[in-house]
């Protein structure tokens, strides 16, 4: 069953067009990646979905509701959590306060306790550091906090923008393991990554985005075997 659908979305900033006629679907329970080089429009794509920017044309449909052009703070309430590029934590707030802000929505606030327990179970290090300022955490811990904060809004779809960015290789592997666990709990995931090799092991399907257009789509393992994908992005 289709959970999220983008239909012929064109979007950009000012005179610049970052996405051209992009269509994409994510089924409930699926993990999907959007890969592509820098500047392909991957971040813009996630921003359109979470309502940070409104598309110029096209449609955004989530669980049957047309959400095109709705502001970000309304879209979260529909069950889409966005872990943005660069994590965007509140650096001067503590770990616990960051998680609390993740549960800002009235509906999420009601299940605040249970959500917090689950997040601490998933990321024990966050429980240890709950009183510490988010800005003082290591890169890996910050990414876990960003994931945890997104889970606090009790979403059904999680958008991840470059989760491996700035992390040491060992940490990248741990993080992808954690994302796998989150996925196993039943969340639907749409992830944007430059680390193509790792992310294709994580997801079911992937889209290849280049200069704002979808160039290819398919099962993750099929895409990983495509010659030019391997040469260009996997580095084999």
Q: Which residues bind another protein (CB under 8 A)?
A: 50, 52, 71-73, 76-77, 81-82, 84, 88-93, 97, 100-102, 104-105, 108-109, 133, 135, 149, 153
Q: Which residues pair with 35 in a beta bridge?
A: 193, 208
Question: Residue 93 CB, nearest distance to another protein (Å)?
Answer: 6
The closest alpha carbon to 151, from 191, 183, 119, belongs to: 119
| For another protein, the closer CB: 154 or 198 | 154
The CB-of-105 to another protein minimum distance in angstroms stands at 4
- Residue 223 in contact with residue 192, Cβ under 8 Å? no
Neighbours of 232 (CB within 10 A): 15
Q: Which is nearer to another protein, 86 or 124 (CB)?
A: 86
Q: Give the number of other Cβ atoms within 10 Å of residue 65's Cβ.
A: 9
CB of 71 to another protein, least distance (A): 7
- Strands (DSSP E) contained in the chain are 2-13, 16-27, 31-35, 57-62, 65-66, 80-83, 157-161, 188-193, 205-210, 213-219
- Measured from the CB of residue 216, what is the shortest distance to another protein in angstroms? 29
Give min distance, CB of 164 to another protein, in A: 20
User: Using CA atoms, how far apart are residues 211 and 180, in angstroms rounded to an integer?
Assistant: 29
Measure the CA–CA gap between 183 and 152, rounded to whole angstroms.
Answer: 15
The least CB distance from residue 223 to another protein, in Å, is 29
If the CB atoms of residues 76 and 144 are measured against another protein, the closer one turns out to be 76
- Cβ atoms within 10 Å of 60's Cβ, excluding its own: 23
């Amino acid at each position: 069953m289709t959970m999220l659908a983008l239909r012929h979305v064109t979007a950009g900033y000012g005179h610049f067009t970052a996405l051209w006629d992009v269509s994409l679907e994510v089924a409930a329970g699926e993990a999907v990646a959007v890969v592509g080089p820098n500047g392909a429009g991957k971040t813009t794509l996630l921003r359109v979905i979470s309502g940070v920017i409104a598309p110029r044309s096209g449609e955004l449909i989530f669980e049957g509701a047309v959400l095109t052009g709705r502001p970000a703070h309304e879209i979260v309430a529909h069950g889409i959590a966005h872990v943005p590029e660069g994590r965007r934590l509140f650096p001067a707030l503590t770990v616990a306060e960051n998680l609390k802000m993740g549960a800002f929505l009235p509906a999420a606030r009601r299940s605040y306790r249970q959500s917090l327990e689950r997040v601490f179970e998933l990321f024990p290090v966050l429980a240890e550091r709950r009183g510490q300022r988010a800005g003082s955490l290591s890169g890996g811990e910050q990414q876990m906090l960003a994931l945890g904060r997104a889970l606090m809004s009790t979403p059904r779809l999680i958008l991840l923008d470059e989760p491996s960015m700035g992390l040491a290789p060992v940490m990248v592997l741990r993080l992808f393991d954690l994302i796998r666990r989150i996925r196993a709990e039943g969340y639907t995931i749409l992830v944007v990554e430059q680390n193509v090799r790792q992310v294709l092991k994580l997801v079911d399907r992937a889209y290849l985005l280049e200069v704002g257009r979808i160039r290819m789509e398919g099962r993750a393992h099929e895409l990983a075997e495509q010659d030019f994908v391997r040469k260009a992005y996997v580095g084999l």
